[in-house]
Amino acid sequence: MGRITDLLTPPQVSAWDVVDILIVSLLIYEALKLIRGTRAVQMALGSVFVLLLVFISQTLPLRTVGWLIQNVLTYAAFAAIVLFQSDIRRALSHLGRAGFFRYLGRSERTADTVEEVVTAAAMLAESHVGALIVFEREIGLRNYVESGIPLDAAVSYDLLITIFQHSTPLHDGAVIISEDRIAAAACFLPISVGTQLDRDLGTRHRAALGLTEESDALAVVVSEERGEISLARQGQIERALTPAQLRERLQEHLLQRRERRPRRRDGKERA
């Protein structure tokens, strides 16, 4: 009766026990996601089979099997490191992109992103290749991201230049950068219908103004005809920027925690 009572009595579970279980469950879940679709799945199944043999050898008098498994398991960890070094690197890289670590290194990555975009804008302007690059900020741009081609790629100037070449199918539209990654390309943006805009503003400029009128995004525009760089923010556009000025503006609005009060732009081309 004492054993039955012990079985029916619920165990004492503390808050730390719940946290412990949640952490272990999360680690198992992430491990299963990482090995899904890789050769590590077959190795995991093989490991389960080996553990089953260990249990059987301890339960039944299978001394030879037990001796063999114990000697093999001694070198199993080293073999796993050699066989799965690429998968281990991928797992550690995935862990490093977790939300907590992304927050710690966000400023450095944003600074790198700004440099890549400035370099790409300068090269595209020199070659008279049109471009529209959008920085997502506090207001999400998911609807516009879903209208384009998803990429989820690291921001690099060579990728941006390649996207906006006329020979590529992604050049006609906007590139949206979210959390320092290229979320999508060939995205459709709303066109500004303001009547006070300069007539020489093309579709890209009007799309940049239309988006920044509805959100707090930043939009970098490269003019195909004039080879000039512009920056749209809060429904205003600053034109004929040099790469250094573009870098300064992007750093001001993306890196500083407290933005300065926005200055009014007249939207006219500078001499």
CA dihedral (260, 188, 229, 162) in degrees, to 10, reads 120
- Alpha carbon separation from 44 to 40, 88, 185 (Å, rounded): 6, 14, 38
| Domain layout of the chain by residue ranges | 2-96, 106-254
Q: Coil, helix or strand for 177? A: strand
Confidence (pLDDT) at 64? 81
- Structure-token pair, residue 204: 């890209």
CATH class held by domain 106-254: alpha beta
- Structure-token pair, residue 124: 């595209």
How far apart are the C-alpha atoms of 212 and 249, rounded to whole Å?
15
Give the position of tokens 């992103």.
113
Contact 231, 219 (CB under 8 A): yes
Helix axes 106-126, 243-254, angle to 10 degrees: 150
- Element (H or E) spanning 176, and its range? strand 174-178
Neighbours of 227 (CB within 10 A): 14
Q: Which of 99, 133, 159 is nearest to 254 (CA)?
A: 133
Q: Which of 63, 107, 45, 111 is nearest to 250 (CA)?
A: 111
Pair type for strands 229-233 and 174-178: unpaired
Residue ranges of the chain whose pLDDT lies below 50: 99-105, 257-271
Confidence (pLDDT) at 119? 94
CA dihedral (193, 249, 139, 202) in degrees, to 10, reads 20
- Whether the pTM exceeds 0.75: the reply is no
Long-range pairs for 56-63: beta carbons < 8 A, 24 or more residues apart: none
Cβ partners under 8 Å of residue 31, min gap 6: 91
Q: Where are the alpha helices (DSSP H) in the chain?
A: 2-8, 15-35, 40-59, 63-74, 76-83, 85-96, 99-104, 106-126, 142-146, 157-163, 203-214, 243-254
Confidence (pLDDT) at 220? 95
Confidence (pLDDT) at 267? 42
